Amino acid sequence: MREYALAFSSLPFNVRLFMSKKLTILDIAKLSGVGKSTVSRVLTNDPKVKPETRERVERVIQESGYSPSKSAQSMRGGSQKVIGVIISRLDSPSENKAVSTMLAELYRADYDVVIMESQLDREKANEHLQVLKRRNVDGIIVFGFTDCDIPAIEAWEHKAVVIALDTENVTSINYDNQQVINSALTHLADQGISEVGFIGVDPSDKSTGELRLKAYLEWCENTGSIANYRTGQLHHESAYQLVDEVLAPATQAIVCASDTLALGVIKRLQELQREDVVVTGVGGNDLLSFLFPRVFSIDPGYQPAGKLAANLLISQLLGNAEISHHTQSPIL
């Protein structure tokens, strides 16, 4: 053992260092005779580094077998196999469904994923985009919302996919918001139900709000039915408070713009002992239908949309696909 120690100590410093531990930027700096900050600038391709200094540092890196961390690779512009996903709400069952299939595809392609929450806030979403840009992630998938800063996302060009919102200059996947309501109304009509109320989201929300309400109003016009609806916030408590304004003695069903709203409606109907009223939702929540058999929930296709978003982004990053636009059909 003593002979081995003597032999090891006689080796050049750089060889002993390479054999004894994983190299760090500080080690490279010592071997190159420069400061740590200079090595960092070489790794980030800083043009201010003198050519002879860059050559010396890069030669040490090559000879020593030094491998920079993902963060260092990110700083110098290389692919680090990371995708940023900005969802609207962490507690959104619909977005979680899409994320589940999305993650499976991204992991299968050997990407890591960073998930961030916009909380439907434009400024917060933009802050997340800036963070992801600084981290030099390979691409982003954003769950859009009405006040979303589309130009900020479009700046990512082929490195971005938007879900739940139509865009022009980046790939987008939107749900067929009118068809999900039409499907619910058709289901009710098949049961001979014609007295139908509607509880939705404020029309300032272009998708869940405006388009789903529009589908109900068009149905009323086409069938000669009197429109009976209220809109509020995308929350079960909001729907709960609106039930009394929509419910009439003749009401046979209430169509809800989402499963979240349906939960609030069901609770209020139970309190009023009006469980004869059929409730429909949008979301395809299996547990909702299991707990409340008279509830019919339309699945907009969240899981297929999540899978498609991941595969489209991967193909675009590989240069195998152009920017495109898709409408996800409901799962009936």
Least confident span in 22-31, 245-254, 256-265? 22-31
Percentage, residues of the chain above pLDDT 70: 88
Residue by residue, DSSP assigns 221-252 as: HHHTPPP-EEEE-SSHHHHHHHHHHH--TT--
Going by DSSP bridges, is the β-strand pair 82-87/139-143 parallel, antiparallel, or unpaired? parallel
Determine the pLDDT at residue 58: 85
Strands (DSSP E) contained in 75-201 are 82-87, 112-117, 139-143, 160-163, 171-175, 196-201
Please tell me whether the overall predicted TM-score, pTM, comes out greater than 0.85 for this model: no
Q: Which of 224-238, 286-300, 304-318 has the lowest mean pLDDT?
A: 286-300
Above 90 in pLDDT, residue 54?
Answer: no
Residue 23 scores a pLDDT above 90 = no
Q: Tell me, what DSSP letter sits at residue 211?
A: I
For residue 9, what pLDDT is reported? 45
Q: What does the pLDDT average to over 275-291?
A: 90
- Asked whether 177 and 212 are in contact (CB, 8 A), the reply is yes
Average pLDDT over residues 236-241: 97
Q: What are the tokens at 223? A: 């069938």
204: DSSP letter? T
**Residue the block writes with tokens 């700083």:** 75
For the record, the structure tokens of 117 come out as 């929450």
Chain centre to alpha carbon of residue 269: 34
C-alpha to C-alpha distance for 58 and 64, rounded to whole angstroms: 10
The helix (run of H) or strand (run of E) holding residue 39 is helix 36-43
* All domains in the chain, ordered by first residue: 2-75 (1.10.260.40), 82-176+303-328 (3.40.50.2300), 177-299 (3.40.50.2300)
- Residue 286: the pLDDT is 83
Window from 14-18, 54-58, 291-295 with minimum mean pLDDT? 14-18
What DSSP line would sit under 45-61, residue for residue? T-TTS-HHHHHHHHHHH
Among residues 198, 188, 268, the alpha carbon closest in space to that of 236 is found at 268
**pLDDT tens per residue across span 150-207:** 999 999 999 999 999 889 899 999 999 999 999 999 999 999 999 999 999 999 998 8
Mean pLDDT to the nearest integer, 5-13: 44
